[in-house]
Every structure is written in structure tokens, then in C-alpha cells.
Amino acid sequence: MNAMPGVVWITGAGSGLGRALAQRYLAAGGAVAGTSRRTETLSNLALAAAGQPGCFHVQAGDLTKAGCADTLVDAIERTAGPIRLAVLNAGTHIPDSAEQFSAATVASLLETNVMSVAYCLEALLPRMLSRGQGQIAINASLAGYRGLPRAAAYGASKAALINMAESLRIELEPRGVTMRLINPGFVRTPLTDRNDFPMPFLMEVETAAEQLYQALEHGSAFEIVFPRRFACILKVLRLLPYALYLPLMRKLIR
């Protein structure tokens, strides 16, 4: 019997932060439904979950496809129970630059990072609103605060998620559904392993997952950020006028 009532749905649960968060909830006795496009990664997680107090439900699917999220949510709630928390974590990163700017890269990142979240919201919101309860956490990024060098496509997708979460928070809060925004900095995952530049305040994924778990289960703030020191630096940069911010960023890429 699960110690934590209700189902936690985690997208992008096959690797990185999603996988580490799923393992944390399973250790706490939670019922976790994990979604990823790659069935083998979920199967590996299910095997690892066998000795944990919680129970793991494999729900593989491609959330960039219209209708997939609705099918998955229906299956989860029919077989495992109502989703009390959805962590919309699925996303990817493709490095870019002005010299290699590609509309196809922008489209790909918007499809994976933004549209997959939109499809999930479309499936979740009617159910949660009808129940008058539920929590949704959208995983964006500190890179969505302002334009950063070599992140035009990625940053744009994450800025869109930040704006989306802010807008929905205003409407959903009076109706019993809590919208949360996750803005991580650099966390050691297969995605950040692609970066070929120094990553300040790089966090281990288990540390990030623990902080996220505590914030989701015991916190109430709209925005969840980590690592805090890096977040504070970027919050200050977000306040700078363009006359100061843009020259400062140019110095960083020299």
C-alpha cells in the first residue's frame, strides 16, 4: 500500500532529473507513472523500482504527438488512480549559434519543449478543474530569463514555458489547481553532458531531485529554482537594462 495518496506523473522519466525524481518518489512510497519516448529506459527504471516502497507504472509515449497525452492520462487515471501531481519535465537541448542558426532547430525545440507541455496541459486541466484540486509543475530553465549566447532556440522555448506557467497560475489558483514553475540551472544529466563550456554551480542530479522533491511536497512558492546562487545571479542580470546587459554578455563569449 502506497504511503502517499494519488499518482505522480513524471514526463521525461527515462533519464536525468525526471528519472532521479521518480526514484525519490518511489523511495517515499509514492505511486509514480513515468513517461518517456524510449520504452527501454522506463523498463530499466521499473526494474530499479522493484525493491522500493512505491509502485511504478510504465506509460511510454511520444508527447509531441497530438492525442498522445490524453490517451496516457486516461490510462494512468483508469489503472492507477487520479493524478495529484504532474511534473511536465520532458524536454531537450540542441546547442546553436548565430553562424549555425537553423529554423529547423527552433521548430524541433518548440515541438519537444513547448508543445509536449501544451498537449499535457490540454489533457490534465479539464480533469483537475473538475475535481477542484491538483498540482502541475512545468520544468522550464533559468535560460528562459533572458537571451543568453548560443541559446537562441533553447532559451526561446524555455521563456515560452515561463510565460505560460505565469499566465495559468493566475487563472488556476482560485479554482484549486496549483501551477508551479521549475527553473533549474546546470544539473549533471545526459543533456548537459553535451555542453562544451564551463557550467557554473553544476549540481549533481540526485541533489537537484531532492531539492525539487522537497519543494513540490513541502513548499508553496510558485517558482522553484536551483542552484540558488546561480539563480540569484541570473535574477540580477534579468533586471539590468539592455545598455548594460548586452555588452556584458558579449564579453562572456569573447
* Burial class for 110, CB neighbours closer than 10 Å (0-12, 13-18, 19+): middle
Helix, strand or coil, per DSSP, at residue 64: coil
Active-site hit among 25, 145, 154, 213: 154
CB 7 within 8 A of CB 73: no
Amino acid identity of residue 228, one-letter, is: R
Preceding omega of 227 cis (within 30 degrees of 0): yes
Q: Whole-angstrom Cα distance, residue 195 to residue 214? A: 28
Helix, strand or coil, per DSSP, at residue 3: coil
Q: Greatest CA span in the chain, whole angstroms? A: 58
Q: Is 145 one of the catalytic residues? A: no
Cα–Cα distances in angstroms (integers) from residue 165 to residues 20, 24, 121, 178, in the given order: 23, 24, 10, 10
Which amino acids are annotated catalytic? 154
